[in-house]
Structure 1
Amino acid sequence: MEEMISLKEIVGVIKKRLVLILTFILGAAFIAAIVSYFVLTPEYENSSQFIVNQTQQEEEQFTQSELRTNVEIINTYNVIISSPAILDPVIDELGLDLTPEQLTDKINVSSEENSQVVTVTATDENPAQAVKIANTTVEIFQEEIPSIMNVDNVAILTQAELSENPSPVAPNPIINITIGIVLGVMLGVGIAFLIEYLDNTIKTENDIAKQLGVPVLGVISHVDENDINSHQHSNLEQTETTGRRGLNGAKKTV
């Protein structure tokens, strides 16, 4: 029974503060849309891939052990790609005004499980620059890895290409607006219950009984001036009607 009463109170507060909650929801969605479309800078990404193999061997087929070794060495390559040994030449080649740490934030290196293919994804505000960063990083890595690890087992598989109408990968307005709506609901409901909790004014006879712990014996209704005038006007009309009826009756008697 107490749970039902609590649920009714919750629904009652939401209905009472519905306008406030809707205001927060619409406001948060509007702010998220403005930020997504007019404040945040669009970012584009492009990818280049290379494959790890055993090019120094003349055998056409690899054993399972060799394939496992190639897959394990990819983890080392992922670290090397993001190191200054590779990124410093990339910065010099492209003339970027970035530090290796800043360029690392623009590059993501990934590979599928048990796969010898490594994908280097570059993100930048300029789609053409993202293509250059991805391709240059893979090319310099292929050139430098023989001197770094004394191996020659990297071959470029695919290069990044600039499409005619590149689409930004961030920001995503739909996701941002959805997040804004969720935050608006949470904030609106939270503030509604906070206001209700802090509101200790007495508005109804139930509030009196709850606050003072005594039963309500009677209620004096509030009567304003309009009610009085309306009541007097009604009584006046009733009196005039009664008078007319009495006068008509007297005429009939005469």
Structure 2
Amino acid sequence: MEYNIGIKDLFNTLKKRWLLILLFTLGAGLISAGISYYVLTPAYQASTQILVNQKKTDDQALNITQVQTNVELINTYSVIIKSPTILEEVIKELDLKSSVKELNQKITVNSQANSQVLSLTVEDTNADNATKIANTLSDTFQKEIKSIMNVDNVTVLSKATLKENSNPVKPNISRNIVFALAIGLMLGIGLSFLREYMDNTIKDERDVEKILELPVLTSIQRVSEK
């Protein structure tokens, strides 16, 4: 037996199950807010910028070949920055309790195409620690690269600064709540239609018409005891 479900039927289902949909939506939002505020550990970021550019002497002019060489060194420097040689010096300098592997996971190195600038981003659960690690890392790299590569072409463009009332970058509470509300809404709607589909009880004459495919000629109204 086939049933033709129209837009009106869908709307009626949503109208009838509105409380269920609302409970799922609000419940998902509250759970997400609780987890974001009280379970997830906040993380802060600090960034510095490093310029890779050979220092000019009096008889040396900047040329395109030199710039291209510096750009090609960016990939190599990105690896060296996160190498144990550099990270061990940072750990020693700041007396960190982290291992080289743990510190490595906190650091992200980015560079734009054909750019001589490296961006170092450090993520930590403490804003002050993130700032200190980022600055110490860039300073240590600038110092150590001279002996590692036998070059002097690294300059720290900008230092990381600790801002008052720094906001964590993780978790993004607003985004988490909105995402959870959307998921709760979809689950509520899905469950509403599922319950409606699984409900085989006959409630009124319209259900009789659908099942028997015959018109209802008359019906008996409920009579009050009074």
**Normalising by the residue count of structure 2, what TM-score does the alignment of the two structures yield?**
0.87
3-state SS of 2:114 partner: coil
- Counterparts in 2 of 1:34 and 1:214: CA distance versus 1, 3 Å: same
> After superposition, what is the alpha-carbon deviation per residue over 1:98-120, rounded to whole angstroms, capped at 9, x for unaligned?
23332222111112333212111
- How far residue 39 of structure 1 moved from its aligned partner, in angstroms, is 2.5
| Runs of 4+ residues deviating >3 angstroms | 56-61, 212-218
Residues in 1 aligned to 2:112 and 2:58: alpha-carbon distance in whole angstroms: 26
Corresponding position of 2:158 = 158
Corresponding position of 2:220 = 220
Residue 145 of structure 2 is aligned to residue 145 of structure 1: yes
Larger helix fraction of residues: 1
3-state SS of 1:202 partner: coil
- Kindly report which structure 2 residues correspond to 1:104-119, keeping only aligned pairs within 5 A, or say none: 104-119=104-119
Larger deviation: 128-137 or 152-161?
A: 152-161
Residues in 1 aligned to 2:200 and 2:69: alpha-carbon distance in whole angstroms: 72
Residue-pair matches, total? 223
Corresponding position of 1:98 = 98
Answer yes or no: is the 8 Å Cα contact 2:14–2:192 preserved in 1: yes
AA aligned opposite 2:105 = D
3-state SS of 2:225 partner: helix
Residues in 1 aligned to 2:56 and 2:150: alpha-carbon distance in whole angstroms: 11
Residues in 1 aligned to 2:169 and 2:85: alpha-carbon distance in whole angstroms: 29
Identity fraction in percent: 49
Larger deviation: 18-27 or 164-173?
A: 164-173
- How far residue 88 of structure 1 moved from its aligned partner, in angstroms, is 2.6
Aligned CA-pair RMSD: 2.2
Answer yes or no: is the 8 Å Cα contact 2:56–2:62 preserved in 1: no
- How far residue 60 of structure 1 moved from its aligned partner, in angstroms, is 5.5
Residue 26 of structure 2 is aligned to residue 26 of structure 1: yes
Answer yes or no: is the 8 Å Cα contact 1:56–1:153 preserved in 2: no
Residues in 2 aligned to 1:59 and 1:134: alpha-carbon distance in whole angstroms: 35
Corresponding position of 1:89 = 89
Corresponding position of 2:172 = 172
- Counterparts in 2 of 1:161 and 1:206: CA distance versus 1, 3 Å: same
Answer yes or no: is the 8 Å Cα contact 1:56–1:152 preserved in 2: no
- Counterparts in 2 of 1:92 and 1:212: CA distance versus 1, 3 Å: farther
- Please list every run of 5 or more consecutive structure 1 residues that lacks an aligned counterpart in the other structure: 230-254
> After superposition, what is the alpha-carbon deviation per residue over 1:63-85, rounded to whole angstroms, capped at 9, x for unaligned?
12221221221122112222323
Corresponding position of 1:70 = 70
- Counterparts in 2 of 1:111 and 1:206: CA distance versus 1, 3 Å: same
Larger-Rg structure: 1
- Counterparts in 2 of 1:148 and 1:56: CA distance versus 1, 3 Å: farther
Residues in 2 aligned to 1:85 and 1:199: alpha-carbon distance in whole angstroms: 68
**Normalising by the residue count of structure 1, what TM-score does the alignment of the two structures yield?**
0.78
Residue 9 of structure 2 is aligned to residue 12 of structure 1: no
Residues in 2 aligned to 1:129 and 1:202: alpha-carbon distance in whole angstroms: 66
Higher relative contact order (CA 8 A, sep 6+): 2
Answer yes or no: is the 8 Å Cα contact 1:45–1:124 preserved in 2: yes
- How far residue 150 of structure 1 moved from its aligned partner, in angstroms, is 2.9
Residues in 2 aligned to 1:228 and 1:31: alpha-carbon distance in whole angstroms: 47
Corresponding position of 1:120 = 120
Larger deviation: 82-91 or 180-189?
A: 82-91
